[in-house]
């Protein structure tokens, strides 16, 4: 494993810089990093699925100032906006929902409500998801795909690792908000970065298998947690610093 650590540490040195964020190497963080508004940044993460260049193109077309406008203005301004699985009503609804939530509370405070029970980012995430569905009072396939369903629990009420998706876009958002370096934003100060979970996508999943960081074949939350535990052997206090390196290794087919 020492040679794997050396490979990844080298990639971290090369990758964890703002030079990695450009229109030649598109990533939703390219757009998110322009904002200090946590709700705008979350929108960048939630729409961060599909081809990277198309994600950035769509995010560039959005006016995030609408989060501070009246709902009638949101309806008017977003009248012809849609993205992949989200129709116009879905896009309008997520903006209106975040506007309502923003007027009542910060995302950070909502997250901490769940997180602080056991320093569990999954509990923090589930608390936010509950608030989103309550504030939206809306249901559609596109909206649920965008936001993600609430986490499944066992009979004792504990969040299950097996049976839940990896929640990649949410884990990516948490990485942006909690980690603080040339790449990530570090806007949330009360969450320990050692509690973060790897934002597992197809690239990081396959690369982790090839590098021997994961023996399982199932793409789920359990695999994301297991890889994270393995990465803690390389850096216990900041295991997710390796995320962008793993992602680019897969994206650029370096293995």
CA neighbor of 198 nearest in space, from 252, 253, 239, 151: 239
State whether residue 190 is helix, strand or coil: coil
pLDDT tens for 125-165 read: 999 999 999 999 999 999 999 999 999 999 999 999 999 99
Mean pLDDT of the chain: 95
Q: Please report, for the chain, the start and end positions of each structural domain, with discontinuous segments joined by +.
A: 2-251
pLDDT tens for 203-220 read: 899 999 999 999 999 999
Could you tell me which residue, 8 or 94, shows the higher pLDDT? 94
Confidence of residue 19 (pLDDT cuts 50, 70, 90): confident
pLDDT tens for 173-194 read: 999 999 999 899 999 999 999 9
Cα separation of the two ends of the chain: 16
The pLDDT of residue 247: 86
The pLDDT of residue 251: 79
Written as six digits, the tokens of 233 are 């052997």
Please list the alpha-helical segments (H only) found in 137-192: 141-147, 168-178
The pLDDT of residue 12: 87
The pLDDT of residue 69: 98
The pLDDT of residue 254: 75
Note whether 29 and 21 are within 8 A (CB). Answer: yes
Alpha carbons 84 and 82: distance in angstroms, whole number: 7
CA neighbor of 173 nearest in space, from 27, 37, 44, 26: 44
Using CB atoms within 10 Å of the CB of residue 80, give its burial: 0 to 12 exposed, 13 to 18 middle, 19+ buried.
exposed
pLDDT above 80 (res 255): no
Note whether 193 and 171 are within 8 A (CB). Answer: no
């Amino acid at each position: 494993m020492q040679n794997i650590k050396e490979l990844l540490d080298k990639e971290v040195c090369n990758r964890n810089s703002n030079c990695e964020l450009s229109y030649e190497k598109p990533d939703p963080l390219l757009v998110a990093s322009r904002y200090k508004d946590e709700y705008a940044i979350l929108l960048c993460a939630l729409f961060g699925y599909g081809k990277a260049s198309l994600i950035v193109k769509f995010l560039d077309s959005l006016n995030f100032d609408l989060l501070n406008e009246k709902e009638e203005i949101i309806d008017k301004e977003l009248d012809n906006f849609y993205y992949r699985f989200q129709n116009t009503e879905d896009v309008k609804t997520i903006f209106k929902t975040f506007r309502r939530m923003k007027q009542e509370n910060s995302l950070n405070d909502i997250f901490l409500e769940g997180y602080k029970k056991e320093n569990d980012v999954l509990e923090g995430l589930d608390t936010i998801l509950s608030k989103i569905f309550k504030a939206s009072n809306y249901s559609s396939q596109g909206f649920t795909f965008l936001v993600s369903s609430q986490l499944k629990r066992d009979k004792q009420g504990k969040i299950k690792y097996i049976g839940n998706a990896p929640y990649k876009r949410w884990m990516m958002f948490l990485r942006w908000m909690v980690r603080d370096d040339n790449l990530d934003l570090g806007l949330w100060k009360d969450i320990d970065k050692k509690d973060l979970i790897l934002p597992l996508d197809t690239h990081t999943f396959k690369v982790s298998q090839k590098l021997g960081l994961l023996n399982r074949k199932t793409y789920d939350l359990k695999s994301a947690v297991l890889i994270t535990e393995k990465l803690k052997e390389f850096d216990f206090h900041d295991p997710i610093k390796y995320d962008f390196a793993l992602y680019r290794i897969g994206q650029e087919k370096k293995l």
